[in-house]
Amino acid sequence: MSSQVSLLLNPAFRVAPVRRRTFGAFVEHLGRCVYSGIFEPGHPSADEDGFRTDVLALTRELGVSSVRYPGGNFVSGYKWEDGVGPVEDRPARHDLAWHSTDPNTVGLDEFMTWAKKAEVEPMYAVNLGTRGIEEALDVLQYANSPQGIALSDQRAANGSPEPHGIRMWCLGNEMDGPWQAGHKTAHEYARIATEAARLMRQEDPDLELIACGSSSSSMETFGEWENVVLTEAYDHVDMISAHAYYSEKDGDQASFLASADDMDHFIESVVATADHVRAKLKKDKRIMISFDEWNIWYQHRAESRPPSGDDWPVAPVLLEDTYSAMDAVVFGNLLISLLRHSDRVASASLAQLVNVIAPIMTAPGGASWKQTTFHPFALTSAHARGEVLDVRLDAPSFENTRFGTSSAADAVATWDEESGDLAVFVVNRGNQDALDLDADLSAFGDLELVEALTLHHEDPYAANTESAPETVVPQANDTIRLDGGRLVGSLPEISWSIVRLTRTSA
Protein backbone atom coordinates (compact mmCIF):
# COMPACT_ATOMS: atom_id res chain seq x y z
CA MET A 1 0.00 0.00 0.00
CA SER A 2 1.04 3.62 -0.45
CA SER A 3 -0.29 7.06 0.28
CA GLN A 4 0.79 10.44 -1.02
CA VAL A 5 2.95 13.16 0.51
CA SER A 6 2.62 16.51 -1.23
CA LEU A 7 5.32 19.14 -0.89
CA LEU A 8 5.14 22.77 -1.99
CA LEU A 9 8.48 24.55 -2.30
CA ASN A 10 9.13 28.14 -3.24
CA PRO A 11 12.37 30.16 -3.14
CA ALA A 12 10.41 32.92 -1.38
CA PHE A 13 9.64 30.67 1.62
CA ARG A 14 12.94 31.53 3.32
CA VAL A 15 13.64 30.73 6.97
CA ALA A 16 17.27 31.83 7.35
CA PRO A 17 20.66 31.17 5.81
CA VAL A 18 22.07 27.67 6.34
CA ARG A 19 24.42 27.91 9.32
CA ARG A 20 27.58 25.85 9.05
CA ARG A 21 27.65 25.57 12.84
CA THR A 22 24.51 23.42 12.65
CA PHE A 23 26.90 20.60 11.76
CA GLY A 24 28.97 20.63 14.93
CA ALA A 25 29.94 17.63 17.04
CA PHE A 26 31.20 16.90 20.54
CA VAL A 27 34.35 15.32 21.95
CA GLU A 28 34.21 14.56 25.68
CA HIS A 29 36.65 12.73 27.91
CA LEU A 30 34.15 9.90 28.18
CA GLY A 31 34.71 6.24 27.39
CA ARG A 32 36.78 5.78 24.22
CA CYS A 33 35.95 9.07 22.54
CA VAL A 34 39.45 10.52 23.12
CA TYR A 35 41.69 7.59 24.01
CA SER A 36 41.60 4.98 21.20
CA GLY A 37 39.07 7.26 19.46
CA ILE A 38 40.68 10.42 18.13
CA PHE A 39 44.01 9.69 19.88
CA GLU A 40 45.88 6.38 19.76
CA PRO A 41 49.68 6.55 19.54
CA GLY A 42 51.01 3.32 18.12
CA HIS A 43 48.00 2.76 15.88
CA PRO A 44 49.05 2.02 12.27
CA SER A 45 47.36 5.24 11.14
CA ALA A 46 48.64 7.46 13.98
CA ASP A 47 50.44 10.65 12.97
CA GLU A 48 53.40 12.25 14.71
CA ASP A 49 51.09 13.66 17.40
CA GLY A 50 49.36 10.34 18.11
CA PHE A 51 46.10 11.19 16.32
CA ARG A 52 44.41 8.52 14.22
CA THR A 53 44.48 9.79 10.64
CA ASP A 54 41.67 7.40 9.68
CA VAL A 55 39.43 9.15 12.23
CA LEU A 56 40.60 12.57 11.02
CA ALA A 57 39.67 11.60 7.45
CA LEU A 58 36.23 10.37 8.54
CA THR A 59 35.67 13.55 10.57
CA ARG A 60 36.35 15.65 7.49
CA GLU A 61 34.13 13.36 5.37
CA LEU A 62 31.36 13.67 7.95
CA GLY A 63 31.47 17.43 7.35
CA VAL A 64 31.85 18.49 10.96
CA SER A 65 32.05 22.28 11.32
CA SER A 66 32.76 22.75 15.04
CA VAL A 67 33.55 20.55 18.03
CA ARG A 68 32.56 21.12 21.65
CA TYR A 69 35.21 20.10 24.21
CA PRO A 70 36.05 18.75 26.88
CA GLY A 71 32.53 18.00 28.23
CA GLY A 72 29.80 17.28 29.05
CA ASN A 73 29.44 16.05 32.61
CA PHE A 74 33.20 15.53 32.63
CA VAL A 75 33.92 19.27 32.57
CA SER A 76 32.17 19.96 35.89
CA GLY A 77 34.99 18.19 37.75
CA TYR A 78 37.83 19.02 35.34
CA LYS A 79 40.99 20.98 36.13
CA TRP A 80 42.20 22.29 32.79
CA GLU A 81 45.70 22.88 34.20
CA ASP A 82 46.14 19.11 34.55
CA GLY A 83 46.06 18.77 30.76
CA VAL A 84 48.79 21.25 29.76
CA GLY A 85 52.57 21.21 30.01
CA PRO A 86 54.96 18.26 29.76
CA VAL A 87 52.92 15.08 29.45
CA GLU A 88 55.17 13.18 31.83
CA ASP A 89 54.36 15.71 34.57
CA ARG A 90 50.58 15.57 34.20
CA PRO A 91 48.59 13.96 37.01
CA ALA A 92 46.06 11.20 36.49
CA ARG A 93 42.70 12.05 38.07
CA HIS A 94 39.48 10.26 38.89
CA ASP A 95 36.56 11.46 36.78
CA LEU A 96 33.54 11.23 39.06
CA ALA A 97 31.05 11.81 36.24
CA TRP A 98 31.89 8.50 34.49
CA HIS A 99 33.77 6.65 37.29
CA SER A 100 36.92 6.52 35.18
CA THR A 101 40.54 7.64 35.31
CA ASP A 102 41.76 10.39 33.01
CA PRO A 103 45.54 10.27 32.40
CA ASN A 104 45.43 13.86 31.05
CA THR A 105 47.59 12.87 28.09
CA VAL A 106 45.27 14.91 25.88
CA GLY A 107 44.39 18.42 27.02
CA LEU A 108 43.62 21.86 25.60
CA ASP A 109 46.74 22.25 23.45
CA GLU A 110 46.48 18.73 22.01
CA PHE A 111 42.81 19.27 21.26
CA MET A 112 43.60 22.48 19.40
CA THR A 113 46.26 20.64 17.38
CA TRP A 114 43.68 17.99 16.50
CA ALA A 115 41.02 20.61 15.67
CA LYS A 116 43.32 22.26 13.13
CA LYS A 117 44.00 18.90 11.51
CA ALA A 118 40.30 18.06 11.48
CA GLU A 119 39.51 21.52 10.06
CA VAL A 120 36.91 22.25 12.74
CA GLU A 121 36.14 25.29 14.85
CA PRO A 122 36.63 24.72 18.60
CA MET A 123 33.92 25.32 21.21
CA TYR A 124 35.32 25.20 24.75
CA ALA A 125 33.37 24.53 27.95
CA VAL A 126 34.50 25.93 31.31
CA ASN A 127 33.98 24.33 34.71
CA LEU A 128 31.34 26.29 36.62
CA GLY A 129 30.51 23.22 38.69
CA THR A 130 33.34 22.48 41.11
CA ARG A 131 35.26 25.59 40.09
CA GLY A 132 34.04 28.95 38.81
CA ILE A 133 34.88 32.45 37.60
CA GLU A 134 38.63 32.30 38.29
CA GLU A 135 39.00 29.09 36.32
CA ALA A 136 37.02 30.59 33.42
CA LEU A 137 39.28 33.63 33.25
CA ASP A 138 42.45 31.59 33.62
CA VAL A 139 41.69 29.15 30.82
CA LEU A 140 40.55 32.03 28.59
CA GLN A 141 43.81 33.88 29.16
CA TYR A 142 45.81 30.70 28.57
CA ALA A 143 43.95 29.96 25.35
CA ASN A 144 43.43 33.35 23.77
CA SER A 145 45.73 36.05 25.16
CA PRO A 146 48.83 37.21 23.25
CA GLN A 147 52.14 36.57 24.92
CA GLY A 148 53.13 38.98 27.67
CA ILE A 149 51.18 37.71 30.68
CA ALA A 150 51.87 34.68 32.84
CA LEU A 151 49.28 32.30 31.41
CA SER A 152 49.84 33.13 27.74
CA ASP A 153 53.60 32.86 28.27
CA GLN A 154 52.94 29.44 29.82
CA ARG A 155 51.03 28.44 26.66
CA ALA A 156 53.95 29.61 24.53
CA ALA A 157 56.40 27.64 26.67
CA ASN A 158 54.17 24.61 26.16
CA GLY A 159 54.60 24.88 22.39
CA SER A 160 51.76 27.18 21.27
CA PRO A 161 53.20 30.68 20.86
CA GLU A 162 50.17 32.03 18.97
CA PRO A 163 46.78 32.43 20.70
CA HIS A 164 44.33 29.63 19.99
CA GLY A 165 41.59 32.15 19.21
CA ILE A 166 38.64 30.16 20.57
CA ARG A 167 35.46 32.21 19.96
CA MET A 168 32.65 29.99 21.34
CA TRP A 169 32.60 29.29 25.10
CA CYS A 170 30.07 27.26 27.09
CA LEU A 171 29.46 28.57 30.61
CA GLY A 172 29.35 25.18 32.31
CA ASN A 173 27.32 22.11 31.44
CA GLU A 174 23.81 20.97 32.46
CA MET A 175 23.96 22.88 35.71
CA ASP A 176 20.24 22.21 36.32
CA GLY A 177 20.90 18.47 36.59
CA PRO A 178 21.15 16.84 40.05
CA TRP A 179 23.67 14.43 38.48
CA GLN A 180 26.03 17.32 37.75
CA ALA A 181 29.03 18.02 39.97
CA GLY A 182 28.33 21.42 41.50
CA HIS A 183 24.63 21.30 40.54
CA LYS A 184 23.00 24.68 41.15
CA THR A 185 19.60 26.28 41.38
CA ALA A 186 18.62 28.59 38.58
CA HIS A 187 19.38 31.67 40.69
CA GLU A 188 22.77 30.30 41.81
CA TYR A 189 23.75 29.44 38.26
CA ALA A 190 22.46 32.74 36.86
CA ARG A 191 24.74 34.70 39.20
CA ILE A 192 27.93 32.73 38.49
CA ALA A 193 27.28 32.56 34.74
CA THR A 194 26.58 36.29 34.54
CA GLU A 195 29.73 37.20 36.46
CA ALA A 196 31.87 34.76 34.47
CA ALA A 197 30.48 36.16 31.22
CA ARG A 198 30.96 39.77 32.28
CA LEU A 199 34.59 39.26 33.25
CA MET A 200 35.39 37.05 30.24
CA ARG A 201 34.13 39.85 27.98
CA GLN A 202 36.39 42.32 29.76
CA GLU A 203 39.28 40.07 28.75
CA ASP A 204 37.97 39.50 25.21
CA PRO A 205 34.84 41.41 24.13
CA ASP A 206 34.35 39.43 20.91
CA LEU A 207 33.59 36.08 22.51
CA GLU A 208 30.36 34.20 21.83
CA LEU A 209 29.05 32.95 25.17
CA ILE A 210 26.54 30.17 25.77
CA ALA A 211 24.56 29.90 29.01
CA CYS A 212 23.28 26.55 30.24
CA GLY A 213 19.64 25.95 29.47
CA SER A 214 17.60 23.00 30.65
CA SER A 215 19.25 19.61 30.22
CA SER A 216 15.93 18.29 28.92
CA SER A 217 12.46 19.59 28.19
CA SER A 218 11.22 17.00 30.69
CA MET A 219 13.02 18.70 33.60
CA GLU A 220 10.57 20.03 36.20
CA THR A 221 12.36 23.38 36.03
CA PHE A 222 12.17 23.62 32.22
CA GLY A 223 11.02 27.07 31.14
CA GLU A 224 11.43 28.67 34.55
CA TRP A 225 15.16 27.85 34.48
CA GLU A 226 15.58 29.66 31.14
CA ASN A 227 13.50 32.57 32.42
CA VAL A 228 15.61 33.04 35.56
CA VAL A 229 18.97 32.57 33.83
CA LEU A 230 18.23 34.87 30.90
CA THR A 231 16.63 37.55 33.09
CA GLU A 232 19.98 37.80 34.90
CA ALA A 233 22.43 37.12 32.06
CA TYR A 234 20.66 38.57 29.00
CA ASP A 235 23.14 41.37 28.29
CA HIS A 236 26.15 39.12 28.70
CA VAL A 237 25.40 35.97 26.69
CA ASP A 238 24.58 35.22 23.06
CA MET A 239 23.02 31.76 23.22
CA ILE A 240 21.35 29.37 25.61
CA SER A 241 21.91 25.64 25.33
CA ALA A 242 19.45 22.83 24.67
CA HIS A 243 20.13 19.09 25.06
CA ALA A 244 17.95 16.20 23.87
CA TYR A 245 18.40 12.47 23.34
CA TYR A 246 15.93 10.02 21.85
CA SER A 247 15.52 6.25 21.73
CA GLU A 248 12.92 3.57 21.07
CA LYS A 249 11.37 2.59 24.40
CA ASP A 250 9.44 -0.62 25.13
CA GLY A 251 9.09 -1.46 21.45
CA ASP A 252 7.15 1.74 20.71
CA GLN A 253 8.37 2.27 17.16
CA ALA A 254 5.72 4.82 16.27
CA SER A 255 6.56 7.27 19.06
CA PHE A 256 10.28 6.92 18.35
CA LEU A 257 9.78 7.65 14.66
CA ALA A 258 7.99 10.88 15.64
CA SER A 259 10.85 12.07 17.90
CA ALA A 260 11.44 15.24 15.87
CA ASP A 261 8.04 16.48 17.07
CA ASP A 262 9.61 16.75 20.53
CA MET A 263 12.68 18.57 19.21
CA ASP A 264 10.43 21.05 17.40
CA HIS A 265 8.48 21.66 20.61
CA PHE A 266 11.67 21.99 22.67
CA ILE A 267 13.16 24.61 20.34
CA GLU A 268 9.94 26.58 20.03
CA SER A 269 9.43 26.59 23.81
CA VAL A 270 12.95 27.91 24.46
CA VAL A 271 12.44 30.58 21.79
CA ALA A 272 9.16 31.62 23.44
CA THR A 273 10.82 31.94 26.85
CA ALA A 274 13.83 33.84 25.47
CA ASP A 275 11.57 36.25 23.61
CA HIS A 276 9.43 36.72 26.72
CA VAL A 277 12.54 37.81 28.61
CA ARG A 278 13.52 40.04 25.69
CA ALA A 279 10.15 41.79 25.85
CA LYS A 280 10.20 41.98 29.64
CA LEU A 281 13.66 43.59 29.67
CA LYS A 282 12.93 45.72 26.59
CA LYS A 283 16.02 44.51 24.72
CA ASP A 284 16.81 44.69 21.03
CA LYS A 285 19.03 41.63 20.62
CA ARG A 286 17.63 38.13 20.37
CA ILE A 287 19.06 35.20 22.28
CA MET A 288 19.85 32.27 20.00
CA ILE A 289 19.96 28.55 20.78
CA SER A 290 23.01 26.32 20.90
CA PHE A 291 21.60 22.78 20.61
CA ASP A 292 24.96 21.50 21.74
CA GLU A 293 23.95 17.95 22.66
CA TRP A 294 21.59 15.90 20.50
CA ASN A 295 21.50 12.32 19.29
CA ILE A 296 19.95 8.88 19.58
CA TRP A 297 21.03 7.38 22.93
CA TYR A 298 19.78 4.14 24.49
CA GLN A 299 20.46 5.13 28.08
CA HIS A 300 18.83 1.98 29.48
CA ARG A 301 21.31 -0.35 27.77
CA ALA A 302 24.21 -1.94 29.66
CA GLU A 303 26.66 0.05 27.52
CA SER A 304 25.59 3.22 29.34
CA ARG A 305 26.33 1.95 32.87
CA PRO A 306 29.67 3.32 34.18
CA PRO A 307 32.09 1.17 36.16
CA SER A 308 31.64 1.11 39.93
CA GLY A 309 33.40 0.33 43.19
CA ASP A 310 37.19 0.15 43.03
CA ASP A 311 37.22 -0.05 39.24
CA TRP A 312 38.41 3.30 37.79
CA PRO A 313 39.62 2.30 34.29
CA VAL A 314 41.14 4.54 31.64
CA ALA A 315 38.87 4.86 28.59
CA PRO A 316 36.39 2.07 29.39
CA VAL A 317 33.83 0.92 26.84
CA LEU A 318 30.92 3.27 27.57
CA LEU A 319 27.85 4.40 25.63
CA GLU A 320 28.92 2.46 22.54
CA ASP A 321 25.47 2.13 21.01
CA THR A 322 25.15 0.32 17.69
CA TYR A 323 22.74 2.22 15.46
CA SER A 324 20.09 0.71 13.23
CA ALA A 325 18.53 1.83 9.97
CA MET A 326 15.57 3.16 11.95
CA ASP A 327 17.89 5.09 14.25
CA ALA A 328 19.43 6.74 11.18
CA VAL A 329 16.01 7.76 9.85
CA VAL A 330 15.06 9.40 13.17
CA PHE A 331 18.52 10.97 13.32
CA GLY A 332 18.08 12.44 9.84
CA ASN A 333 14.69 13.78 10.90
CA LEU A 334 16.32 15.53 13.88
CA LEU A 335 18.66 17.26 11.44
CA ILE A 336 15.60 18.37 9.47
CA SER A 337 14.23 19.91 12.68
CA LEU A 338 17.49 21.74 13.41
CA LEU A 339 17.65 23.13 9.87
CA ARG A 340 13.98 24.13 9.95
CA HIS A 341 14.77 26.31 12.99
CA SER A 342 17.88 27.96 11.56
CA ASP A 343 16.38 31.36 12.33
CA ARG A 344 17.03 30.66 16.04
CA VAL A 345 19.32 27.62 16.28
CA ALA A 346 22.69 29.24 15.70
CA SER A 347 24.81 26.24 16.62
CA ALA A 348 24.37 22.51 17.23
CA SER A 349 26.67 19.71 18.37
CA LEU A 350 26.04 16.05 17.65
CA ALA A 351 26.97 14.16 20.83
CA GLN A 352 29.38 12.56 20.27
CA LEU A 353 31.91 12.13 17.46
CA VAL A 354 33.77 8.84 18.00
CA ASN A 355 32.81 5.57 19.77
CA VAL A 356 30.53 7.21 22.37
CA ILE A 357 26.98 7.29 20.86
CA ALA A 358 28.83 8.21 17.71
CA PRO A 359 28.67 8.08 13.91
CA ILE A 360 32.33 6.93 13.80
CA MET A 361 33.49 3.72 15.50
CA THR A 362 37.01 2.40 16.00
CA ALA A 363 38.65 -0.81 17.12
CA PRO A 364 41.76 -0.26 19.29
CA GLY A 365 44.71 -0.94 17.02
CA GLY A 366 42.31 -1.81 14.21
CA ALA A 367 39.70 -0.55 11.81
CA SER A 368 37.34 2.39 11.84
CA TRP A 369 33.87 2.33 10.30
CA LYS A 370 30.73 4.38 9.72
CA GLN A 371 27.58 3.82 11.72
CA THR A 372 24.22 4.21 9.96
CA THR A 373 23.86 7.75 11.38
CA PHE A 374 27.05 8.85 9.60
CA HIS A 375 25.27 9.03 6.27
CA PRO A 376 22.40 11.48 6.83
CA PHE A 377 24.77 13.81 8.71
CA ALA A 378 27.46 13.72 6.01
CA LEU A 379 25.01 14.20 3.14
CA THR A 380 23.12 17.00 4.85
CA SER A 381 26.32 18.79 5.80
CA ALA A 382 27.67 18.44 2.27
CA HIS A 383 24.58 19.62 0.41
CA ALA A 384 22.63 22.01 2.67
CA ARG A 385 23.67 25.34 1.18
CA GLY A 386 22.26 28.82 0.73
CA GLU A 387 18.88 29.49 2.35
CA VAL A 388 16.75 27.12 4.39
CA LEU A 389 13.26 26.91 2.93
CA ASP A 390 10.03 26.28 4.78
CA VAL A 391 8.44 23.32 3.03
CA ARG A 392 4.63 23.24 3.00
CA LEU A 393 3.69 19.60 3.50
CA ASP A 394 0.53 17.54 3.31
CA ALA A 395 0.78 13.89 4.32
CA PRO A 396 -1.20 11.18 6.07
CA SER A 397 -0.93 10.99 9.84
CA PHE A 398 -0.20 8.08 12.16
CA GLU A 399 -1.12 7.44 15.75
CA ASN A 400 1.51 7.08 18.46
CA THR A 401 1.50 6.90 22.23
CA ARG A 402 3.72 9.87 22.98
CA PHE A 403 2.40 12.55 20.63
CA GLY A 404 -1.07 11.32 19.76
CA THR A 405 -1.02 12.06 16.04
CA SER A 406 2.02 12.82 13.89
CA SER A 407 2.60 13.45 10.20
CA ALA A 408 3.90 10.39 8.37
CA ALA A 409 6.36 12.60 6.49
CA ASP A 410 8.64 15.51 7.34
CA ALA A 411 10.83 17.62 5.09
CA VAL A 412 13.02 20.67 4.72
CA ALA A 413 14.87 22.12 1.73
CA THR A 414 17.78 24.43 1.02
CA TRP A 415 18.20 26.68 -2.01
CA ASP A 416 21.45 28.25 -3.16
CA GLU A 417 20.29 30.96 -5.53
CA GLU A 418 23.80 31.73 -6.78
CA SER A 419 24.61 28.18 -7.87
CA GLY A 420 21.03 27.15 -8.56
CA ASP A 421 21.32 24.10 -6.32
CA LEU A 422 18.22 22.82 -4.54
CA ALA A 423 18.37 20.05 -1.92
CA VAL A 424 15.27 18.39 -0.51
CA PHE A 425 15.55 16.31 2.67
CA VAL A 426 12.52 14.14 3.40
CA VAL A 427 11.63 11.28 5.73
CA ASN A 428 8.87 8.71 5.62
CA ARG A 429 8.25 8.23 9.34
CA GLY A 430 5.48 5.72 8.88
CA ASN A 431 6.29 2.11 9.69
CA GLN A 432 3.63 0.55 7.46
CA ASP A 433 3.35 2.07 3.99
CA ALA A 434 5.46 3.64 1.27
CA LEU A 435 4.60 7.22 0.36
CA ASP A 436 4.16 8.54 -3.17
CA LEU A 437 6.12 11.78 -3.40
CA ASP A 438 4.62 14.70 -5.29
CA ALA A 439 6.59 17.94 -4.88
CA ASP A 440 5.66 21.14 -6.69
CA LEU A 441 8.93 22.80 -7.78
CA SER A 442 7.48 25.02 -10.52
CA ALA A 443 8.51 28.23 -8.72
CA PHE A 444 12.21 27.42 -9.29
CA GLY A 445 12.01 27.41 -13.09
CA ASP A 446 13.78 24.74 -15.12
CA LEU A 447 15.58 22.19 -12.96
CA GLU A 448 17.40 18.95 -13.62
CA LEU A 449 17.73 16.03 -11.24
CA VAL A 450 21.29 15.51 -10.01
CA GLU A 451 20.85 12.68 -7.51
CA ALA A 452 18.25 10.95 -5.37
CA LEU A 453 19.46 8.80 -2.47
CA THR A 454 17.39 6.90 0.08
CA LEU A 455 18.53 5.29 3.32
CA HIS A 456 16.26 2.32 4.03
CA HIS A 457 16.54 -1.33 4.94
CA GLU A 458 13.89 -4.05 4.88
CA ASP A 459 14.92 -4.82 8.45
CA PRO A 460 14.64 -1.52 10.35
CA TYR A 461 16.97 -2.94 13.01
CA ALA A 462 19.78 -3.77 10.57
CA ALA A 463 23.04 -2.10 11.54
CA ASN A 464 26.61 -1.53 10.38
CA THR A 465 29.39 -3.39 12.20
CA GLU A 466 33.15 -3.72 11.91
CA SER A 467 32.73 -6.93 9.90
CA ALA A 468 29.81 -5.60 7.81
CA PRO A 469 30.25 -1.81 7.63
CA GLU A 470 28.03 -1.26 4.58
CA THR A 471 24.91 -3.14 5.60
CA VAL A 472 22.92 0.10 5.74
CA VAL A 473 24.00 2.81 3.31
CA PRO A 474 22.10 5.27 1.11
CA GLN A 475 21.15 3.82 -2.25
CA ALA A 476 20.09 5.46 -5.49
CA ASN A 477 16.31 5.87 -5.57
CA ASP A 478 15.52 5.25 -9.23
CA THR A 479 11.79 5.91 -8.75
CA ILE A 480 12.36 9.63 -8.21
CA ARG A 481 12.18 11.78 -11.35
CA LEU A 482 11.11 15.18 -12.63
CA ASP A 483 7.78 15.39 -14.41
CA GLY A 484 7.49 18.92 -15.73
CA GLY A 485 7.68 21.16 -12.67
CA ARG A 486 6.94 18.32 -10.27
CA LEU A 487 9.19 15.89 -8.44
CA VAL A 488 7.62 12.47 -8.17
CA GLY A 489 8.64 9.06 -6.88
CA SER A 490 8.30 6.62 -4.01
CA LEU A 491 9.60 6.82 -0.44
CA PRO A 492 9.67 3.43 1.34
CA GLU A 493 8.46 3.13 4.91
CA ILE A 494 10.98 4.15 7.60
CA SER A 495 13.31 5.95 5.19
CA TRP A 496 15.37 9.13 4.90
CA SER A 497 16.05 10.64 1.49
CA ILE A 498 18.00 13.46 -0.10
CA VAL A 499 17.05 14.73 -3.55
CA ARG A 500 19.49 17.09 -5.27
CA LEU A 501 18.49 19.26 -8.19
CA THR A 502 20.08 22.17 -10.00
CA ARG A 503 18.97 24.95 -12.29
CA THR A 504 19.47 24.09 -15.97
CA SER A 505 21.87 26.34 -17.80
CA ALA A 506 20.37 28.77 -20.26
Q: Left (φ > 0), alpha (ψ -120 to 50) or beta: where does 229 sit? A: alpha
Residue 442's pLDDT band (boundaries 50, 70, 90)? very high
Tens-digit pLDDT profile for residues 248-275: 999 999 999 999 999 999 999 999 999 9
Given the residues 81, 226, 293, 493, the one annotated as active site: 293
Residue 300's pLDDT band (boundaries 50, 70, 90)? confident
Tens-digit pLDDT profile for residues 149-175: 999 999 999 999 999 999 999 999 999
pLDDT(506) > 60: no
Alpha-carbon distance of 159 to 309, in angstroms, equals: 39
Torsion sign over Cα 453, 454, 455, 456? negative
Which of 327, 358, 383 is the last residue in one of the domains? 383
- Check whether residue 368 and residue 399 sit in a common domain: no
Alpha-carbon distance of 355 to 358, in angstroms, equals: 5
Alpha-carbon distance of 440 to 198, in angstroms, equals: 50
Tens-digit pLDDT profile for residues 108-124: 999 999 999 999 999 99
For the domain that residue 76 is a member of, what is the CATH number? 3.20.20.80
- Check whether residue 197 and residue 243 sit in a common domain: yes
Predicted confidence at residue 2, as pLDDT, reads 65
Query: Span 9-13, mean pLDDT?
Result: 97
- Check whether residue 24 and residue 150 sit in a common domain: yes
Tens-digit pLDDT profile for residues 52-75: 999 999 999 999 999 999 999 999
Count of domains observed in the chain:
2
Percent of the chain with pLDDT over 70: 99
Predicted confidence at residue 269, as pLDDT, reads 97
Predicted confidence at residue 468, as pLDDT, reads 97
Which of 383, 404, 425 is the last residue in one of the domains? 383
Given the residues 81, 135, 174, 248, the one annotated as active site: 174
- Check whether residue 374 and residue 472 sit in a common domain: no
Q: Compute the mean pLDDT over every residue in the chain, rounded to the nearest whole number.
A: 96
Is residue 303 annotated as a catalytic residue, yes or no?
Answer: no
Predicted confidence at residue 384, as pLDDT, reads 98
Tens-digit pLDDT profile for residues 366-420: 999 999 999 999 999 999 999 999 999 999 999 999 999 999 999 999 999 999 9
- Check whether residue 210 and residue 274 sit in a common domain: yes
- Check whether residue 379 and residue 393 sit in a common domain: no
For the domain that residue 426 is a member of, what is the CATH number? 2.60.40.1180
Give Cβ neighbours of residue 116 (< 8 Å, ≥ 6 apart).
none
- Check whether residue 405 and residue 370 sit in a common domain: no
Query: Span 469-482, mean pLDDT?
Result: 98
pLDDT(314) > 70: yes
Q: Which of 425, 344, 359 is nearest to 19 (CA)?
A: 344
Tens-digit pLDDT profile for residues 329-374: 999 999 999 999 999 999 999 999 999 999 999 999 999 999 999 9
Q: What does the DSSP 8-state code read for residue 324?
A: B
Give Cβ neighbours of residue 137 (< 8 Å, ≥ 6 apart).
196, 199, 200, 203
- Check whether residue 233 and residue 94 sit in a common domain: yes
With a threshold of 0.95, does the pTM exceed it?
Answer: yes
- Check whether residue 374 and residue 405 sit in a common domain: no
- Check whether residue 302 and residue 428 sit in a common domain: no
- Check whether residue 34 and residue 112 sit in a common domain: yes
User: What range does the domain containing 89 cover?
Assistant: 19-383
Is residue 134 annotated as a catalytic residue, yes or no?
Answer: no
- Check whether residue 155 and residue 225 sit in a common domain: yes
Which of 383, 417, 450 is the last residue in one of the domains? 383
Partners of residue 122 on adjacent β-strands: 67
